[in-house]
Amino acid sequence: MMRTHTANGPQKVPHLSAVMSVMAALFFACASPALGEGMSFEQAIDLLLSQSDTLAGAKAGVESRRHTANSTDYLDYPRVEFNAKALASEKTLDVNLSGVKSTTASILSSNATLGTLLAPLAAKLPSDAVMGMHNSGIQTNVTATLPLYTGGKIDATQKAAFAGVREAGAEATLAEQQVRTQLAQVYFLYQLALKVRDVRLEVRDGLKLHLTNAQRAETAGTIPHAQTLQAQVAYDETARNLAQAEADVRSAAAALGNLLHVSHPPDATTLLFVVSTRLPPLKAYLEAAQKSHGQIARLQALDDQAGEGVRIEAADRMPQVYAFGEYNFTGRGLAGHDWDLSVPDWAFGLGIKYSLFSGIDRSEAEQAAVKKQAQVQAALRQTRIDLETAVTKAYNDLDAARERFQLLDSAIASARENVRIQDAAFRAGYATSVDVIDARLALSRAQVERAEAAFRFDEALSRLLFASGEAERFPEYVAKADRVIAK
């Protein structure tokens, strides 16, 4: 602790790390559900969508692709560049003067007086002369280049970039569908673990009561010790089963808490459910899968990018035509500077550029792009088939789980009644300990099977909606539920 002094004497000041710890605890207490606080499945979805690192990364990917695509907006605009060079240069010119020398000699020979005066000078004229121009300093210029024809490369590059945005958007949609589906499965697995734990607890308590009754009956001499041992063995087994069920609850709770980014999993209030009425026909989900699934949209965007890649490679085999302009700030004979006759003040015109050899076989590069598109198209066709298979299987699994759930109603009612009868018969001396044990275990099996059937329905529904690209509709089916597994 730090200390400070006031009029009232030294005061303790919390250390900075302690303050930060308290602030962090308050933040998470506000942002996360408290331990034991109820949370519906829909509330869990809202929390997941705001906390998921997977979705945050997918959204960042979309923004990255969007900025990349926006950066290509001006590819067809003039490219303006400023250049500055510090240099020293020299230009040498070799001039042949033999013709000038012979002409001069001919002129002087025709004029005796002039020839007498200038002949000595003319004789000194060299046959060759070397002239040089030296320049040093800084050269600066501005150039502008406007593409006029690129073989479609600019257009293809821009379209490929925006197809990349669609790809990233599809990946973000697919990521959201996946986390929604994952939450549905983890949330209701947690509910299943809780229900199984409750059933195990109930059967343990029931067999504990039966063990007590058996011990009393043995003391009274109405049953042999073997039946008491049977009751003890059955009770011990249910205690072991309960311990495993409690471990399963802790594991499922940890999975749900980690998925929601909370330190303690909230009390899940949306119960295991079944929609007893039939869903829309299978055809509706198959059509939705082909239309809405994120993987289809992703591969379609990749197909568009691959197609533009073919255009880009084809454009590299075409000549490029451009307009250009240049303005030089040096070489204008300003005071204190040498004249540089080799540098124009300004220039403009048209140019054409064609790569004769670049080290890359352009035919092979174009074929590679074509095969890349063929690969994507094959993956798209296979994905459509795989989605049809996944939708069909999930739909059939869901129907089977619903039917199994409904058929277990009568089994549970019968098993519960059998427990009552066997308990009464044992106390009256007409049933054995094994009869009571079997009755209670049969009831627990039926209860667990029905809870599992409800979970299978919920899990199959999550798979069906994911495969059809409609995972966000899961809460609609929760609202339609007419059968639930009560706690």
Tokens coding 34: 């408290």
Q: Which among 367, 418, 239, 384 is positioned nearest to 299, based on CA atoms?
A: 384
How distant, in Å, are the alpha carbons of 216, 298, 335, 433 from that of 437? Answer: 16, 57, 115, 6
> Which H/E stretch holds residue 93?
strand 79-96
> What is the predicted pLDDT for the residue at 264?
84
Q: Could you tell me if 32 and 263 are in contact, meaning their C-beta atoms sit under 8 angstroms apart? A: yes
- Measured distance CA(217)–CA(215) in Å, rounded: 5
- Measured distance CA(432)–CA(422) in Å, rounded: 8
Q: Could you tell me if 76 and 156 are in contact, meaning their C-beta atoms sit under 8 angstroms apart? A: no
> What is the predicted pLDDT for the residue at 258?
93
Instruction: Write out the CATH class of domain 40-72+156-309+365-484.
Output: mainly alpha
- Measured distance CA(437)–CA(394) in Å, rounded: 37
> What is the predicted pLDDT for the residue at 97?
64
> What is the predicted pLDDT for the residue at 430?
87
Using DSSP's 3-state secondary structure scheme, residue 272 falls into coil
Q: Which residue has tokens 């070489």?
A: 331
Phi and psi, residue 97, nearest 5°: -105, 10
- Measured distance CA(425)–CA(435) in Å, rounded: 9
> What is the predicted pLDDT for the residue at 31?
40
Strand segments (E) across 247-368: 267-268, 273-274, 320-328, 346-353
Strand segments (E) across 269-342: 273-274, 320-328
The burial of 106, by beta-carbon neighbours within 10 Å (0-12 exposed, 13-18 middle, 19 or more buried), is given as exposed
Query: Which residues are CB-contacts of 71 (< 8 A; sequence separation ≥ 6)?
Result: 161
Q: Which residue has tokens 């600019």?
A: 154
- b/e burial code for range 212-236 (CB count within 10 A of at least 16 → b): ebbeebbeeeebeeebbebbeebbe
> What is the predicted pLDDT for the residue at 120?
66
Domain ranges, ordered by start, for the chain: 40-72+156-309+365-484, 79-149+320-353
- Measured distance CA(317)–CA(334) in Å, rounded: 46
- The pLDDT profile of the chain, 487 residues, written as one tens digit per residue, is 444 434 344 344 344 333 333 333 333 334 444 444 689 999 999 999 999 999 999 999 999 999 999 999 999 999 999 998 887 777 777 766 666 666 766 666 666 665 566 666 666 666 666 666 666 778 888 999 999 999 999 999 999 999 999 999 999 999 999 999 999 999 999 999 999 999 999 999 999 998 998 999 899 888 899 999 999 999 999 999 999 999 999 999 999 999 999 988 788 999 999 999 889 999 999 999 999 899 999 999 999 999 999 999 999 889 999 999 999 887 555 444 455 566 778 899 999 999 888 888 888 999 999 999 999 999 999 999 999 999 999 999 999 999 999 999 899 999 999 999 998 998 888 888 899 999 999 999 999 999 999 999 999 999 999 999 999 999 999 999 999 998 7
Q: Which among 423, 416, 420, 442 is positioned nearest to 210, based on CA atoms?
A: 423
Q: Are strands 38-39 and 267-268 parallel, antiparallel or unpaired?
A: parallel
Query: Which residues are CB-contacts of 457 (< 8 A; sequence separation ≥ 6)?
Result: 273, 274, 275, 398, 401, 402, 405
